[in-house]
Amino acid sequence: MPQNSYQKPLPAISSLNKPYWDGLRNRELMLQKCNGCGMIWAPPSPLCPACWSRKFTWTRLSGRGRVSSWVVFHQAYFRSFEGDLPYNVAEVELDEGPRLLTNLVDIGNDAIRAALPVEVVFDDVSDDVTLAKFKPRAA
């Protein structure tokens, strides 16, 4: 087996979301920010979902946020996740507003709490793809 044979599902990279994935490769959590109304949003859009301006800037975010909700999978829908059971998936509300789905690392599933302060960590899962995961941080 080649060393980089990552078996889990990989993101579908499109013209819309490519800057997000390129950002993660460069250790930057980037989302679109509207040049007009200032909204920062996810998931990527062709225009600002608030004011419909097409003038936006891919902007580096703080990488900080809080857990808004979470679940723990006890059943694997992909064989590649079987070895991780039970594993968590969380929604993290970024300080800038948008929520991202992610996995929390460096924490036991039983220790996860609502509003837990977290910060981004970059997980290089393949030569081309880096995932934004989150770990606890001091408040």
Partner 1 sequence: MANFALKDRSAIVGVGESAYGRKLMRSAIDLAADAIVGALDDAGLTREQLDGLVVSFGSPIGADGDTLAQVLGLNLRAYNQTWAHGRFTGSCIQWAALMVNAGLADAVACLASVSFSAVRRPMMGGGGDREGGREAGGGHGEDPVFGMTSPGAGAAMVARRYFERFGADSRALAAVPIAFRKHASMNPHAIMREPFGIDEHQRSRFVCEPLHLLDYCLINDGAACVIVTTAERANDCRKSPVYISGMQPLPAGREEFIWSYPGMGIAQQSVFEYQPELQAVYKMAGITPADVDALFTYDAFSILAWIALERWGFCKPGEAAAFTQNGRIEVGGELPMNTNGGLLSEAHIMAWNHQVEIVRQLRGECGRRQVKDASVIQWANAFGDSIVYRR
Residues in touch with partner 1 (CB under 8 A): 8-12, 14, 16-17, 41-43, 49, 68-78, 81, 84, 86-87, 89, 91, 93, 98-99, 101-103, 114, 131
Nearer to partner 1 by C-beta: 14 or 35? 14
- Tell me the closest approach of the beta carbon of residue 2 to partner 1, in angstroms: 20
For residue 120, which of 29, 31, 26 has the smallest C-alpha distance?
29
Say whether 79 sits in a helix, a strand or coil.
helix
CB 28 → partner 1: shortest distance, Å?
A: 18
Smallest gap, in angstroms, from Cβ of residue 91 to partner 1? 6
At its nearest, how many Å lie between partner 1 and the CB of residue 100? 9
- For partner 1, which is the closer residue by CB, 58 or 73? 73
Q: Where are the beta strands (DSSP E) in the chain?
A: 30-34, 40-41, 56-60, 64-73, 87-94, 99-102, 117-124, 130-136
* CB nearer partner 1, residue 8 or residue 27: 8
Q: Could you give the CA distance from residue 69 to residue 71 in angstroms, rounded to a whole number?
A: 7
Under a CB-based contact definition with an 8 Å cutoff, are residues 29 and 132 in contact? Answer: yes
